[in-house]
Chain A
Amino acid sequence: MAIVEEPLALPSGQPDKAEKPLGALSRPSELTGLKDWLTTVDHKKIGIMYGAAAMFFLVIGGVAALLIRLQLATPDNTLLSGDAYNRVYTMHGTVMVFLVVMPIGAAFANFLMPLQVGARDVAFPRINAFSFWIFFLGGLMLNTSWFIGGGADGGWFNYAPNNGIAFSPSTGIDFWNIGLLIVGIGSLTGSINLITTVLNMRAPGMTLMKMPVFTWMTLVTQFLLLFAIPVLTVAQVLLAADRLFDANFFNVDMGADPLLWQHLFWIFGHPEVYLMILPAFGIVSEVIPTFARKPIFGYPFMVFSGIAIGFMGWGVWAHHMFVSGIGPLSVTAFSVATMFIAVPTGVKILNWMATLWGGRLILNTAMLFSIGLVTQFTIGGLSGVSHALAPSDTQQTDTYYIVAHFHYVLFGGALFGFMAGFYFWWPKAFGYKLSEAWGKWNFWLMVIGFNLTFGPMHILGLQGMPRRMQTYSEAQGFGFWNLVATWGAFILAVGTVLVLVNALVSYLAWKREGKPDVGADPWDGRTIEWSIKSPAPGHNFDVDPVVSSLDDFWHRKYQPDESGKLRRVHTGEELAQPGDPTGVHLPAPSYWPIVLAASMPIIGYGLIFSLWLMIPGILLMTLALWGWALEPADDLDADHGDHHDDDHGPDTDSSGAEAELETVS
């Protein structure tokens, strides 16, 4: 619990001479190369690492998905045994939810949100690095179970008592449990960090109702994480106590009620669903106005519907339990509550449609994926309504209809939104645009493959095919649509891989041309991240942006003339900041976040295999905390827990830059 120790990280405030507390390790100062990536505290690099790590895990989760589809392609297939199938589908769900969709959301939040609020970094840059590393190393630890524990076999929902040692004696579920506990620490510290950044570090003039929609959705998302993660943590602690220390929380023989797990899991799990989709909602709310060349329709409704989803998301968890035997009164209450959560979601869909209405749409890849989200998510939302009706849910739950539903929400919704975000902000992150030609292939293969894979699952589910089935027999009549879905899955896989291919191809083309400057504002953007160079310079903003309206950057480019007609008075490039870091001190890199993060999986292995192994882990953790606490002894910028390197020359007067800002605005 690093955050508990965080107050200790506060330096004394004494301008002591820099002491090297652990002399062997001098402070890292590289700005390029591997060591830079390992020690960086730059939110943009951390965001990129979140994205890259998520892509790595996406490959693992994707291979698992293809194995599932191959196994189910034909009746009575024997490619995977029951045991192997259970492990593969469990790891597919777990990896995709915790190590792909959530981290991509975190990637955008980290990279983008500080740029959108006009900050130089997040509130606690080192904790930010720690959040990433603990997610990545925890995720790696979880995946080492493929080799030494056989993978978890209880489903991503991992219901008790099937998750108990009596039913799953291998260490797979321990890896699931401890690995996700560790990943959860990163989510928690990350959420505290990002909320603090949004709430406290906005550019002057940026009131809450002038924040970009993506930043709003990030804020809601991080609040959901902040409150949802501890509930999952408790469930996992209870499970770990049962599995590792013979406690009885889910031991039915001792009088336990297995539904305790379901309640705890879904009190976490339902907000979880929204915290996966809301970042994507934020992304398309930025992309659509930009390429429709209109402001977002009904900004306050977009914001408040997001907040409403955030609140209502806490009151509907038991709709995952309509057939669990929670009694008709609870079923009634949660059924009605669940139906009404469709309202704010519907508002968002209609507002996006209204934004498209009458726009001048540029249908590039980012826009196509955004439109893809609006349409595919609508399908997922509608099927959601059909099982909000509890009686109907008793026929549909735990069938492939549900699998179709949540893939339309999480793949057709969240992942399509993320793809739109990749194409949109790629130049801001890397300095070059992704190829539109490859992008179109990317989009159309994905949308076709996606609908071929998951569309038939609606039919399969309504025809009665249960989920989590290793196989089915000929007589049950599921063969045809399963085969279609398998073909679709391979088209979808090819389509998804194309985004990586595109990144490479576009980079090589850009390099061949001598890396031309893509410009600060390649899309005629609306928000202030487009007012700085591409790729975004390490210090983000030369001078503090001062914000006076929603879509501030756009309003500086377009202003009404005498007749009231909007005219372009500046191009984005005219307004863009030159990217001059003079006089800006940045938080310095640090070894300690990765060292502290690395200690946790060691402790985790210790819990699973031998408590002795915990000793080096705890020693390493103590060392890391100690080093962390003492490191910024010469740092005066105390309340960020960050650090500044002293390589810069004496501070030059920044008023020049401010004056420049005034002349251009």
Chain B
Amino acid sequence: MTTLEAPAEHAGDAAADHDDHDHGHHSSLGLSNMKLAMWLFLGSECLLFGALISSYLLSKARFITEVVAGNPTVINSLLADGMPQEIVDEFIAEASVEPFWDIPFTSASSFILLMSSLTMVLAHKAVHEGDYRNSRIWLAATALLGSTFIAGQVYEFTAFYREGLTYDGSLFGSAFYTLTGFHGVHVTGGIIMLLSLLVLSFRGKLRQDRAETVELVGLYWHFVDIVWVLIFTIVYLIP
């Protein structure tokens, strides 16, 4: 009878279908509602980051144009925030913000974030197979790797601030911190989700039949990683 249920209907003896992934509900696409919703949400997020990245690119280009043209308002603002004259000169000479990056450091933290996608997959696999011990290890590892990335970002922001790249001191600063900060907030949200899963797991509530929950968090986590690959390439690598 479960297959005849309307989607939001709930039969009294639903315990019978509770091992079923779709809970016996008729699903027109053969995909659970939650998973469909997560994909839709991620689709929407693509536009969010698309708009942010576009704004960053435009703002950076305008910043470089003004610095190269020697716009005194822009340059004085940088110097007033403590940016060394050499860096400003390098901006002008190279017509690029490249002198600012610490590529090895950011590459390392990017690598850490990418590795967390791997542990996320392993966590999902473990839950799916009912291997609760390993699932906790991999969930914790994913959260830890994500936190390491965030710690790296906090360190990087601090270093940049000390070098005079402030949020309100230049168009470039505003755009850079907004874009990477938005991504950082997304990672932080993911970490909170992972920790919540971990708590659920320790309380014995993250059983095999809830593997989809882990899968959903995983989808989100992979998305955030992919966005970082894009941001890392666009912001740091492409001159």
Residues of A within 8 A of B (CB): 1, 3-8, 10-15, 118-125, 188, 191-193, 195-196, 199-204, 206, 226-231, 233-235, 237-238, 241-242, 245-249, 251, 253-257, 260, 264, 267, 541, 544, 583-587, 629, 636-642, 644, 648, 650-651, 654-655, 658
Contact = CB atoms under 8 A, between A and B. Distances in A.
Contacts of B13: 651
Contacts of B51: 230-231, 234-235, 264, 267
B130 to A, nearest CB: 13
B196 A8 contact: yes
Interface of B: 1, 4-15, 18, 22-23, 25-29, 31-34, 36-38, 40-41, 43-45, 47-48, 50-52, 55, 58-59, 62-63, 65-66, 71, 73-74, 77, 167-168, 170-171, 173-175, 178, 182, 186, 189, 192-193, 196, 200, 203-207, 209-210, 212-213, 216-217, 220
Contact of A192 (B8, B40, B170, B207): B40
B63 A255 contact: yes
A228 B51 CA distance: 10
Contacts of B216: 7, 10
Residue with the greatest number of chain A CB neighbours at <10 A, chosen from B44, B59, B206 = B44
28 contacts: A1-B189, A7-B34, A8-B193, A12-B210, A13-B209, A14-B207, A15-B18, A123-B7, A123-B8, A123-B36, A196-B37, A201-B7, A201-B27, A203-B6, A227-B47, A231-B51, A233-B48, A245-B168, A247-B178, A248-B170, A254-B66, A255-B71, A267-B51, A644-B10, A648-B12, A651-B13, A654-B11, A655-B1
Contacts of A242: 174
Contacts of B43: 226-227
Given A196-B36, A255-B171, A188 B55 contact: no
A120 B8 contact: yes
B6 A119 contact: yes
B65 A255 contact: yes
A228 to B, nearest CB: 8
Contacts of B26: 201, 204, 544
Given A124-B37, A231-B47, A267-B51, A639 B25 contact: yes
Contact of A13 (B48, B193, B196, B207): B207
Given A121-B8, A200-B33, A255-B74, A13 B18 contact: yes
A241 B63 CA distance: 17
B32 A639 contact: yes
Contact of A246 (B44, B52, B65, B167): B167
Contacts of B32: 639
Contacts of B74: 254-255
A320 B195 CA distance: 46
A636 B31 contact: no
A640 B33 contact: yes
B146 to A, nearest CB: 14
B45 A247 contact: no
A124 B38 CA distance: 12
Contacts of B213: 7, 10
A573 to B, nearest CB: 23
Contacts of B31: 200
B171 A256 contact: yes
A230 B44 contact: yes
A113 B45 CA distance: 25
Contact of B23 (A12, A639, A654): A639
A538 to B, nearest CB: 11
Nearest to A251: B171
Nearest to A198: B28
Contacts of A638: 23, 210
Contacts of B55: 234, 238, 249, 260, 264
A125 B7 CA distance: 12
A658 B33 contact: no
Contacts of B40: 191-192, 195-196, 226
B168 A246 contact: yes
Contact of B18 (A6, A267, A636, A640): A636
A227 B42 CA distance: 10
Contact of B41 (A192, A202, A231, A541): A192
A8 B65 CA distance: 46
A247 B174 contact: yes
Contacts of B212: 10, 639
Contacts of B196: 8, 629
A222 to B, nearest CB: 9
A254 B62 CA distance: 9
Nearest to B181: A241
Nearest to B32: A639
Given A238-B178, A637-B23, A256 B59 contact: yes
